[in-house]
Amino acid sequence: MASNTKEAAVDMSPFFILYKDGSINRLRPDVNAPLCDDPQAPVRSKDVVIQTETGVSARLFLPKITEPNRKLPVVIYIHGGAFCIGSPRSIVFHNFIRTLVEKANFIAVSVDYRLAPEHPFSATYEDSWAAFQWVISHVNGKGSDSWLNDHADFTKIFVGGESAGGNITNDVAVRAGVANLDSSIKIIGIFLVHPYFGTENDLLYKALNPTIADKYSEDPRINPFIDPRLKSMACKKVLFFVAENDPLKKGAMDYYEGLKKSEWKGEVDIMETKGEGHCFHFFNPMSEKAVAIVDKLVGFLKQGY
């Protein structure tokens, strides 16, 4: 009798398994965080649709407004999950951003991009770029969202994310550098937490890009140094976070070291956590080392003041 067992291309248990037939088994159901619309709460949140045709959306976070005329920095956050899992509604991402918003006092836009493999690998990048464009469309106070119209300072934008989201963040910043943005729109910095920039014999990239599986080193999103736009990347500062036991550490370190030597003229900083693995701060957010990551990020984001 023939077996119905499918062959795994990438096994990332206990999170998901990608199969060679292009299907996926997400092993953990998302635990979603509720919204908060209490004006007296430290942080309010709401979901908005950005593109009806693609379904791209975002979860917005607004700190308690004590000075109505004061404009706040904007953070565009792009979650991780190996391009295949997660959303801004996921409790780990929701709580992480809500904590940062409360501590650093900014407006956050957490992007809900389409996931692979049901959608093309490139959709994660296109959707995040669309979200960035949607955010800056509010620069004249005439966008579709009142929180951004009324409270956002577009001269103080940050973009950031972890894992796959860190990689997508970098792509947004590179694109923005050649997009002829209005002079009233400025990206102060980006933060890359345990970012994905490929691995040796990259099985994830190959599974999600079967037609170009052997050319991952030629993809400028994975290997930014081959991208001629890198020198124009639209931010002044890049903050890297790496973990000692993270298999993605080498790719992040290579990019960190190379960026310092590149034609891009901004500032680079890095924080390494010893004895920890990939995105450990989500699994034990109250640990001393996880709190240290939050504190470092809060300091970085407060440069918007």
* pLDDT at residue 303, rounded to an integer: 85
Active site residue 219: no
Q: What residue type is assigned to position 55 of the chain?
A: G
Torsion from C-alpha of 222, 113, 282, 102, nearest 10 degrees: 120
Active site residue 246: yes
Residues of the chain with pLDDT under 50: 1-3
Active site residue 38: no
* pLDDT at residue 1, rounded to an integer: 39
Taking a C-beta distance cutoff of 8 angstroms, is the pair 196, 170 a contact? no
* Catalytic position from the list 94, 151, 278, 281: 278
pLDDT tens per residue, range 249-304: 999 999 999 999 999 999 999 999 999 999 999 999 999 999 999 999 999 999 86
* pLDDT at residue 112, rounded to an integer: 98
pLDDT tens per residue, range 236-261: 999 999 999 999 999 999 999 999 99
How far is it between the farthest Cα atoms of the chain? 72
* Catalytic position from the list 163, 171, 194, 281: 163
User: Regarding beta strands 107-112 and 152-162, do their DSSP bridges make them parallel or antiparallel, or are they unpaired?
Assistant: unpaired
- In degrees and rounded to multiples of 5, residue 65 shows phi and psi of -90, 115
Taking a C-beta distance cutoff of 8 angstroms, is the pair 32, 90 a contact? yes
User: Which residues lie closer than 8 Å to 175 by C-beta, 6 or more apart?
Assistant: 129, 132, 229
